[in-house]
Chain A
Amino acid sequence: MRPGLAKNLLEAGLRSSIGFYASGDAVRIVETTRTPFGLAGIHSRRIDDAYVSKESGKDVRDILAEVLKRERLKTVTVGVRPNAVDFIADADRPEEGWDGVGGGESQPSARLQTTPGVLLDSIAVSVAKTKFLLTGRVRSKEIAAGLPDPEEEGVRRQPRFEPGPWAAWRASLHFAPLKRRSGVHLRYILGEQEGLAVLGDRNWPVAWQVLSWRSQDKGAALVQAFHMLNLYARRHLSLSEIRRVSVQGCSDLHEGWQAIESQLSREIEVVAGPAYDEEFIAFGLALGGLESGENTLDLGRSLRPPKTLFALLPWKELGFLSVLFAAMFLVMSSHARSLKTQLKTAIDENAAATWANSVPVPGLQAEQKRLAKDVQPLSEFFSKRIPFAPVLATISNMIPPTAWVESLHAADYVWSTATNRALGDTYVLVRYAVPLVHRGAVPKEIDQLVNSLRKSLYFSEVLPEVKLADINWKQEGADGVTLFTVIAKPKGK
């Protein structure tokens, strides 16, 4: 893969942007890249030799043209000097026909309102629970002066144009975000000899004032800006008083912040962040380039040709849905193919049973029911049988020489119930006799017989429950006999 192509792909995946800010005779270019893990690859360079002519701006234009040609995949955002921009915040006025919705919903109808020689852009936002239409205005020649020649080869797109303080507020929030529910907030973003006082909430600025203390006391400038913006917030914007004040950048103050705090009757929080300078603004511009162009002011918006329907279409979402439906089609068609194969196999197997081809399902069900009704009792009759010949053989083999069998009763009922329910349907009852030694004595043959029957191969397998049922003594003439009965049953019966 060519290195250039790899670089372009990487940049397209990671999303990079460039902030371009010209101030005095210097141009500051900051490049940022956003990865899924945060910002990476912040690169800043300063071009000192660029002479920026207020009349022609030729050198800046050349530098910008060069950047636009070289970095085709990146968003380039150009900062407009604070004193060249009018920034107006208007509270929501429905009678003027804009239904401002918070969260940066752009209003094309408002954006298209133009005045000859003036470029403007508006954005509807919600600040401290109040809806505002924020409008930035700039003279068209201010923008046109910085734009490269569209006919120049390789420059086929235009950069965004943002007010410098707008970008500075974004950079400031990047370094020190405001707390949720902090209300109306005033933040001083201070440099060596100049700075900004920005009024806003945790998302949007609603007013700002450029500060300079080259010919003035720094503390006095800060106090003055606070009062001006506080008055503006209450009277013009109908907001509550400034609730919190914070300082970012060069926070050194020779009279100390306690003095300012006592004058403002507010605590002043010193927050982290670099000093306010052109690099700070360029960084804010580059950060803005990483976001959608709809949620920001773009003073050069009306200079660009109106968006085509093709450009308006949400290609990412459509792509995602197309992939989703393609995947759905693949999965479902695979499932359908599998079902079709199974169906073919089932049809073939059914066709193989030729006898059943002409029989409808109800006929098959009736046949199955009839056969089950026939086979079940037959199966029962054939399967549950105790062979009695081995019973007889085992009993005759196990009998001790001194004993004899008086009677034997064996039963294995299958369809009629047993006469003696206590014995169950299957049993063997053997009555043995042993000569009596003396009345009341238990002959040892009883134990021998019961044990030998239990241990015999046939009884242990088929009739394992061998028990002694009763013992009786009988006198027959001069000799007496002991009669005892042994019962054997299948397991669990």
Chain B
Amino acid sequence: MGDFFLRRQLQQFGQRYAWVFEYLQQNQRVKVLAVTLCMIVGVTCVYNPMRRRIVSLGTRLSAERSRLELVHQIENLRRERSELLASIPETAHANFWTEYILQGLRESGIQLRHFDTNLNTKRQIGDYRPLEVMLDVSGSYQQLYALLGWIESNKWYIRVLDMRFRKDRGAVFATLKLGALASEPDGDANKL
């Protein structure tokens, strides 16, 4: 009985909406409609969600990568700085350099004629300031060569900025300008 009513209802439904079916049959409307629906479903259910996912993952990956790159850069810079600072004593103030260079002069046996230091307070190199040490010395060639060797190969980093040698009556007179990095401004250094 129920089956009969259901079939009848279906028939009535089919008759009522037969015009829809007829309309769809014309001019390949079914094709256009079906293809359009398929495209909409495909774009909505496949393309858009996947695109959103890829964009989201791409954005997160980009952020993580830039953070990682920053971390690597910082680690590299720290390593480089610690390698460089290994050549500078912990207490590299101007007085230390004065004492250290005078000790080197004593060891070389050369005669010191003039000694002066100049701390450049206007320029900053990392946490340090440039220190210039001016020396006027005289002695034999061997003594001067030994002094120069000591300056360039001692434990701490000192570089020769300027060097003038002249020979006068058998002795060699040398004016040296040395460069080093001093940790703190020290007014006493300039007084020496």
Contact = CB atoms under 8 A, between A and B. Distances in A.
Interface of A: 101, 105, 107-109, 307, 309, 312-314, 317-318, 321-322, 324-325, 328-329, 332-333, 335-336, 339-340, 342-343, 346-347, 349-350, 353, 356, 361, 364-365, 367-368, 371-372, 374-375, 377-379, 381-382, 385, 387-389, 392-393, 396, 404-416
A102 to B, nearest CB: 12
B104 to A, nearest CB: 13
Interface residues of B, number: 71
Contact of B160 (A108, A368, A372, A410): A410
Contact of B35 (A317, A404, A414): A317
A404 B152 contact: no
B165 to A, nearest CB: 4
A242 to B, nearest CB: 32
A322 B148 contact: no
Contacts of A396: 141, 145
B77 interface: yes
Contacts of A353: 68, 71, 75
B38 A329 contact: no
B81 A318 contact: no
The 3 nearest A-B residue pairs measured at CB:
A346-B64, A332-B50, A325-B42
B164 A325 contact: no
Nearest to A356: B71
A346 to B, nearest CB: 4
| Interface SS of B by simple majority | helix
Given A312-B30, A332-B54, A378-B181, 4 more contacts: A317-B31, A336-B57, A389-B149, A415-B130
A462 B47 CA distance: 63
Interface stretch (B2-10, B18-26, B92-100, B106-114): B18-26
A343 B61 contact: yes
Interface centre among A109, A322, A381, A407 (most CB of B within 10 A): A381
Contact of B21 (A309, A343, A367, A409): A309
B125 interface: yes
B179 to A, nearest CB: 6
A101 B149 contact: no
A108 B22 contact: yes
Nearest to A364: B70
A350 B63 CA distance: 11
A375 B81 contact: yes
Contacts of B61: 339, 342-343, 346
A353 B70 CA distance: 11
A387 B164 CA distance: 15
A317 B34 contact: yes
Given A346-B65, A375-B81, A408-B163, A415 B126 contact: no
Given A343-B60, A410-B160, A374 B74 contact: no
Given A332-B50, A343-B64, A415-B123, A388 B81 contact: no
B125 A381 contact: yes
A406 B157 CA distance: 30
B62 to A, nearest CB: 9
Chain A CB count within 10 A is highest, among B21, B26, B27, B61, for: B61
Interface string B35-53: 1001100100011001101
A125 to B, nearest CB: 14
Contacts of B34: 313-314, 317-318
Nearest to B27: A105
A298 to B, nearest CB: 15
A101 B27 CA distance: 9
B54 A374 contact: no
Contacts of A339: 54, 57-58, 61
B38 A318 contact: yes
A343 B68 CA distance: 11
Contacts of B87: 382
Interface in B96-146: 120, 123-128, 130, 132, 141, 144-145
A215 B171 CA distance: 148
A14 to B, nearest CB: 24
Contact of A379 (B60, B84, B144, B152): B84
Contacts of B30: 309, 312-314
B161 interface: yes
B11 interface: no
B155 interface: no
28 contacts: A109-B22, A312-B25, A314-B34, A318-B34, A321-B39, A321-B42, A325-B46, A328-B42, A335-B54, A336-B50, A343-B64, A353-B71, A356-B74, A364-B67, A368-B73, A375-B77, A377-B124, A381-B125, A382-B87, A385-B159, A406-B166, A406-B167, A407-B167, A408-B163, A408-B165, A409-B162, A411-B162, A413-B162
A386 to B, nearest CB: 8
Contact of A314 (B31, B64, B80): B31
